[in-house]
Amino acid sequence: MGVFFNVGEKKKRAGVYQRYENVGGVSVVGATDGIVACCVRADWGELGRVYTFENIDEAKKALGTGGNAFDILNQIFMGGAKKVYCVRLGSGGVKQSVKLKDNDNADAVTMTAKYEGSINLSYMLRQKLGDTNSKEFIVLNGSLEVEKITFESGENEIDSFLEQSKKSNYFNFEKEETEVKTLAEIPQTEFPAGTNPTVTNESYSSAFTLLEPYSFNTICIDTCDAAVHTLLAAYVDRIYNNGNILPFAVIGEPTSVELETRLSHAKTFNSYNVIYVGGGAVDTLGKPLEGYMAAARVAGMVASLSSNQSLTHKVVSGMTDVLEVLTNSDYERTIDAGMLTFSLSSAGNVWIESAVTTLNVPQGEDDEGWKKIKRTKIRKELMNRASDTVEGLVGNINNDPDGRATVIIAIGRLLSLMETEGKILDGAYIELDSANPPEGDSAWFNIYADDIDSMEKIYFVYKFRYSPNL
């Protein structure tokens, strides 16, 4: 019979020996792209919740179109985001309520807003056209109909209305104690606006905590306040060190801030986890895109672009001009300071001048590659995919030659895949760390990989002559 043998083992007795290997290997985890997190002020929506949006219409329905939430989310999706995790900021605020009357003008139903906020809502209650047995309750946001509740009219219409209204996204309804059977029709009537929650620096910190369990590529906020920028940068550094490797914090300041001040702010972060958008552009309607709005657009672009591509000289759609024209030396200073800004191509398109992080003075184990968004994104992706690829092996394989070989094979396949994807150069490999031999429940490995830069500088040398040598 076949006796099992271990890797490297040589048996003394003649015979047949066997072992088996998983040549299919561990499943290699793919790249995570297109996910943005954001924290916004809105005049509608649930507090203390992380919303998931996959398009702007979902965001509009959940948070309304007031405040700055809609504009920021729209910029994120215009940047190419596929999914957005969003937290409505603040605490407190006021929910308003009104009484719906019966046909005798007695209070029949109390209607209370689901959320605190100053959203512009109106409502009407009427007989359904062409149906004498039904009524409909309609909710409008401005001039847009956002909800319709249809219910049976007649003797039991209050109960029918309460049952159907459980589906409402805007109001909670509660029957009054008095004996009422029917609801009076109501022409379009403004619902009294509530009060928006109060937003403080602590509101942002609380929102960041809510987002911590989620995986995302970038995170942006709805303010240019320097103190909140510092909070966000510290948050991203902390979750990065705790294993949430992918995110960049994307922040922005408007061009009304002096250029020297913006350059100084960018330099101060000095982190490859932070992208500072200090430039601005103008759209086809003459509306400026700068500050936190420009940061939202860039956050969508960075998140959605595969790491084998660069944002340098990537055209910003819908923009017709830059908000400030810088000199060549000024553009060079923005690159040195780690400030992302916009410029015009020779064809007149607005594009990103240079896709840089705020790292401007590499220290410790950091090198110049971390200054670029593309190379940093590749490195983050490799670390994230490697961790996720072998996560399921932890505690499920032995710390022996077979177990360690399983890890090496799995990561080797990942490296080969990322070579094929054009993210790292050929020749990447993993090996056991000879300086740290395996012991107990621990094993150390070295992974060697060279991330691929984009070609951003092309030099031509023209060699002319007055006349050919005859």
pLDDT in tens, 394-429: 889 899 998 999 999 999 999 999 999 999 999 999
pLDDT score for 1: 47
Q: CA–CA separation, 323 vs 280, rounded Å?
A: 5
Tokens matching residue 44: 């509608």
pLDDT score for 207: 97
Quote the distance between the C-alpha of residue 129 and its chain's center.
44
Cα–Cα distances in angstroms (integers) from residue 441 to residues 268, 389, 391, 392, 399, in the given order:
41, 19, 15, 15, 6
Cα–Cα distances in angstroms (integers) from residue 11 to residues 17, 18, 110, 400, in the given order:
8, 11, 85, 18
Q: Residue 144: name the closest of 161, 126, 119, 125 by CA.
A: 119
User: Per the confidence metrics, is the pTM higher than 0.75?
Assistant: yes
* Helical spans, DSSP H, in 165-315: 201-211, 226-241, 259-269, 291-304
Would you say the C-alpha torsion 285, 288, 294, 296 has a positive or negative sign? negative
Residues of the chain with pLDDT under 70: 1-5, 7-8, 13-26, 180, 469-470
Query: Would you say 133 and 155 are in contact if contact means Cβ atoms under 8 Å apart?
Result: no
Q: Are strands 218-221 and 274-277 parallel, antiparallel or unpaired?
A: unpaired
Residue 170 CB partners (closer than 8 Å, separation 6+)? 113, 114, 121, 139, 146, 147
pLDDT score for 459: 87
Tokens matching residue 142: 């401005």
Query: Would you say 232 and 219 are in contact if contact means Cβ atoms under 8 Å apart?
Result: yes
Residue 187 CB partners (closer than 8 Å, separation 6+)? 124
**Domain annotation for the chain: domains and CATH numbers:** 35-90+199-352 (3.40.50.11780), 97-190 (2.60.40.4290)
Residue type, position 175, single letter = K
Query: Would you say 414 and 421 are in contact if contact means Cβ atoms under 8 Å apart?
Result: no
Q: Residue 135: name the closest of 99, 164, 114, 98 by CA.
A: 164
- Radius of gyration of the chain from Cα atoms? 30
The model's pLDDT over 352-376, given as tens digits with 9 standing for 90+, comes to: 999 999 999 999 989 999 999 999 9
Residue 165 CB partners (closer than 8 Å, separation 6+)? 137, 149, 151, 171, 173
The DSSP line for 37-105 is EEEE--SSS-TT-EEEESSHHHHHHHH-S-TTHHHHHHHHHHTT-SEEEEEE--B--B--EEEEE-TTS
Tokens matching residue 20: 């088996």
pLDDT score for 15: 63
Helix (H, G, I), strand (E, B) or coil at 223: coil
Q: For residue 92, how many other CB atoms are within 10 A of its CB?
A: 11
Tokens matching residue 193: 């606006």
Question: What is the overall mean pLDDT for the chain?
Answer: 91
Would you say the C-alpha torsion 258, 260, 263, 264 has a positive or negative sign? negative
Could you tell me how many residues make up the chain?
470
Q: CA–CA separation, 389 vs 337, rounded Å?
A: 36
Residue 359 CB partners (closer than 8 Å, separation 6+)? 270, 271, 272, 338, 366, 370, 371
Q: For residue 440, how many other CB atoms are within 10 A of its CB?
A: 6
Query: Would you say 164 and 225 are in contact if contact means Cβ atoms under 8 Å apart?
Result: no
Q: Which residues pair with 239 in a beta bridge?
A: none
